[in-house]
Amino acid sequence: MNNSRAIGVFDSGLGGLTVAKEIIKLLPYEDIVYFGDTGRVPYGTKSPETIKKYTRQDESFLLSKNVKLIVAACGTVSSVAGDVSKKLPVPFIEVISHSVIDAVSATKNKKIGILATAATIKSGAHKKKILELLPEAEVTEVSGTLLVPLVEEGFTDKDDTMVSEAVKRYTDVFIKNGVDTVILGCTHFPVLSDAIAKVLGENVTLINMGVSTARAVKKLIEDNGIGNGNGGSHKFYVSDKGASFSKTASVLLGEKIDELCVETVDLS
């Protein structure tokens, strides 16, 4: 049965475009509706109550677009507002659980690293889920907050000295602790995969939350028979279109986004 309704994806900003990118790659015939709450980013500095309020508004917007499932491409929402999303009338997928499953499956020495933003690290969501699946795991958590502006300014080349030094500053502890698997726990970080891999070496497996989530979306669609074999269109909405929007969005999605194809909406 063909279900032509779109997949809804939302994030507190534009980082979730890396998740959308992987869904598009794996499911090229699915329509995507993406919403980035760029006017209120970041969510990580807000109270849990505010994050839940914003999450409900984001999800309501996507539901108004008649989506068939919703993906929270945001680590903060995934770790703080999961209970809100359990009440949705459509299936819901977050980015933490599936990346943890992949990390636990990948590790050989049970030493797992998490590279994320301060808010996500503080939530403890990744570590908690890792220890539920692998109680004997040794988890090293690192807040790589300054890597986010590097990505947004387009500094992503693995041979760029500034990028290499920043990555080394944050990931040296993974090497010191013998970590063999690292979850890229912020949606911006997959863009730095080559730079991170260059520093950590080929014996360390990097887990891209976008890839893990895209696989989960594919499985959910197949299990429920709600695939679309005739789509492939992508619509983007934001709550604010800043001066560097096109530049940042194109870096994260991996392809140029025409500003004329992006609509600004006021959720309030």
Indicate if 74 belongs to the active site. yes
Q: Are 105 and 32 in contact (CB under 8 A)?
A: no
The two tokens of residue 267 are 């959720």
- Active-site choice (19, 74, 93, 200): 74
Indicate if 261 belongs to the active site. no
* Three-class SS state of 197: helix
User: Sheet harboring 205-208: ordered strands across?
Assistant: 138-143, 111-116, 181-184, 205-208
Q: Are 126 and 185 in contact (CB under 8 A)?
A: yes
- Active-site choice (186, 192, 226, 257): 186
Cα–Cα–Cα angle for 139, 71, 144, rounded to 5 degrees? 35
Dihedral (CA of 206, 96, 239, 25) sign: positive
* Radius of gyration over every alpha carbon of the chain, rounded to an integer in angstroms: 18
Q: Catalytic site residues?
A: 74, 186
